[in-house]
Homo-oligomer: A and B are copies of this chain.
Amino acid sequence: MSRSFYPPQRTLMGPGPSDVSPRVLGALARPTIGHLDPLFVQLMDEVKELLQYAFQTENELTLPVSAPGSAGMEACFVNLVSPGDTVIVCQNGVFGGRMKENVERCGATAIMVEDAWGAPVSLERVAAAFDEHPQAAILAFVHAETSTGVRSDAAALCALARERGALSIVDTVTSLGGIELNVDAWGADAVYSGTQKCLSCIPGLSPVTFGPRAVERIRNRRHKVQSWFLDMQLVMGYWSGGGKRAYHHTAPVNDIYALHEALLMLREEGLEAAHARHRLNHEALVAGLEAMNLDMAVAAAHRLPQLNSVLIPEGVDDAAVRALLLREFNLEIGAGLGALAGKTWRIGLMGFASSERNVLYCLAALEAALARQGVAFDVGGAIPAATAVFAA
C-alpha cells in the first residue's frame, strides 16, 4: 500500500532539475484559481513581460508552453517547418539529434552539421552547408549543450542564418538565466528554453519566444500545424495580451505561479549579476576540481559556467561515485550522456544551485568519494583552491 511521499532534501548539481528556491516552492503551493480567472489572466501578462526580460526581447509571442523543454522544442519545429522543407541542424551533443527527429517527423529533410561532442558548433561547417543547400529554410542549433557543457556562438550563428535568408531555431534550455542570451540583439527567430535549469524553477514548462519573421511564417503556413496542442495560432489566442482570451487548453496554473516567482527573482537580481554569479561559482569549482587532479572535458573558451563536464579519472567507478554522493551526501551530480556516458560527470551550477555553498559542498563530497576510490591527489586541496577564487 502506498503512502504519502516525502522526498529527501537533495542538493541538485546535475544537468537539471536544479535546486528550486524555497520562494518558488512556496509560490507553487498557493491556492489554485481558474485558468480564465481575471487575476490569472493578469498573471499571464506579467509572466510574459518577465519572460521578455529574461530573453531580452520585445517579441509579442513570448510565453511558457505548458509542458517540458522537449515540447518547447517541438513547438518551434512543428510551427515553423513544413513538409518538404530543408533544415540545417547542428549536432555537437545529444540535443541536435533530437532536433533531427523533430525535423523528420515534420516531413522535412535535415541536413546534419556534425561537430565533436565537447566542441562548439563550427561556423565554417554551417556556412558550407548553406553553400551546398541554399534552399535551406531554417538553421537549428543548441546554444548551451546540456550533454557536453559546451557553449556555441549563438550571435554569429543567428547572423549567418539571416544572411542566408533562413530562420533560426535556438535551443536555450540550459542557457536562459545562466549566460548571456539576447534574442533581439542576435535576431534569433524562434527560441525555446526550460524552467528547471538556470531559472531555479520546477520542471514542467518551456518558455518560448517567436520573432516577427517566425510569426509571419506561422501565419502564412499552407499546412495546418501537425500538433493541435502546440499550434501557436491557437495558443496565441489564449496567451496574446489584452482583449478576450480564447480557451485553448487548461493552463498549469500552479506551475505558472512558480515560474512567475522564479522570473521575479531573476529580475530582482538582474541578468548581469546572475551571469556574473554563475561565472564566479564556475571558476571556483574548476579551481577546486583541478586541485584534485581532475581534468575538464571542454576547452576553457567554450565552457558553460552552469554545466561543468569533468573527465572521470582512469580506474574510477563512475556509478559507484555517483551512488555514494547521492546516498551519503544527498548530492546529485550528472552522468555523461550518449557518447560521453561513463567518460564524464556533469556538475551543474544552475540558478539557485549556483552558490558558494554548493561549490564547497560538492568539492568536499567529491574529495571524500575519490579518496575512497584510491585516486591520488592532494586531499584537502580543493577547498582552499576554491575559496581563493571567492576571496579574490
Contacts and interface: CB of A to CB of B under 8 A. Distances in A.
A38 B323 CA distance: 10
Number of copies of chain A assembled together: 2
Interface in A1-46: 2-10, 12, 14, 16-17, 19-20, 23, 25-35, 37-40, 43, 46
A88 B348 CA distance: 49
Contacts of A49: 2
A43 B49 CA distance: 36
A70 interface: yes
Interface stretch (A158-166, A178-186, A224-232, A284-292): A224-232
A194 interface: yes
Interface stretch (A125-133, A196-204, A270-278, A293-301): A196-204
Interface string A92-120: 00000010011011100000000000000
B2 A66 contact: no
Contact of A31 (B2, B20, B250): B20
Interface in A188-242: 194, 196, 202-204, 224-229
B32 A8 contact: no
Contact of A228 (B26, B33, B101): B101
Contacts of A30: 5-7, 25
B20 A32 contact: yes
A392 to B, nearest CB: 32
Contacts of A46: 2, 5
23 contacts: A2-B50, A2-B260, A2-B267, A5-B46, A5-B260, A25-B30, A26-B29, A28-B28, A28-B29, A29-B29, A32-B203, A67-B68, A67-B71, A69-B250, A73-B229, A74-B227, A101-B228, A104-B224, A105-B224, A105-B226, A202-B255, A203-B251, A255-B255
B254 A28 contact: yes
B228 A70 contact: yes
Interface of A: 2-10, 12, 14, 16-17, 19-20, 23, 25-35, 37-40, 43, 46, 49-50, 66-71, 73-74, 78, 98, 101-102, 104-106, 194, 196, 202-204, 224-229, 247-255, 257, 260-261, 264, 267, 326, 332, 337
Given A66-B68, A250-B68, A4 B35 contact: no
Residue in A34, A40, A257 whose Cβ sees the most chain B Cβ within 10 Å: A34
A204 B260 contact: no
A225 B194 CA distance: 24
Given A6-B30, A105-B227, A255-B255, 6 more contacts: A10-B32, A17-B250, A25-B254, A34-B332, A227-B227, A247-B337
A251 B16 CA distance: 11
Given A105-B226, A253-B202, A255-B204, A261 B31 contact: no
A20 B5 CA distance: 17
Contact of A7 (B26, B33, B332, B337): B33
B229 A71 contact: yes
A40 B264 CA distance: 29
